[in-house]
Amino acid sequence: SYELTQPRSVSVSPGQTARIPCSGDTLPKQYAYWYQQKPGQAPVVVIYKDSERPSGIPERFSGSSSGTTVTLTISGVQAEDEADYYCQSADSSDTSWVFGGGTKLTVL
């Protein structure tokens, strides 16, 4: 079945920029979505359609796409951004969706 690949972990110091990549064969043709999940909570979308930011999400969250890789960028990371981040997209036929394995962001 279709897969999205993310690094297991990313670590940054407060105020630095965190970049979390996600790769998948259909990403050139399908939009990607990014979810943040904190312990004991349901996920929250932070980026949709590759680079759109929902209302209420801080401007430091941004998304980009290049070929088979999409990237979530968090500029000026804050302690509260420490969480698991998941990319999500669809297969080539748009009948099944998948999450990436998740990336644990640690704020040092």
Partner 1 sequence: EVQLVQSGAEVKKPGESLKISCKGSGYRFTNYWIGWVRQMPGKGLEWMGIIYPGDSDTKYSPSFQGQVTISADKSITTAYLQWSSLKASDTAMYYCARRNEYAYFDFWGQGTLVTVSS
Tell me the residue type at 49. K
- Rg, the chain, Cα only: 13
Q: Minimum Å distance from CB 82 to partner 1?
A: 17
CA dist 90 and 85 (Å) reads 17
Q: Does 3 bind partner 1 (CB under 8 A)?
A: no
DSSP assignment letter at 36: E
Q: Which stretch binds partner 1 (CB under 8 A): 21-29, 59-67, 70-78, 83-91?
A: 83-91
Q: Minimum Å distance from CB 14 to partner 1?
A: 25
Q: Tell me which residue of 88, 75, 71, 73 sits closest to 35, measured CA to CA.
A: 88
Q: Minimum Å distance from CB 107 to partner 1?
A: 20
Q: Does 84 bind partner 1 (CB under 8 A)?
A: yes
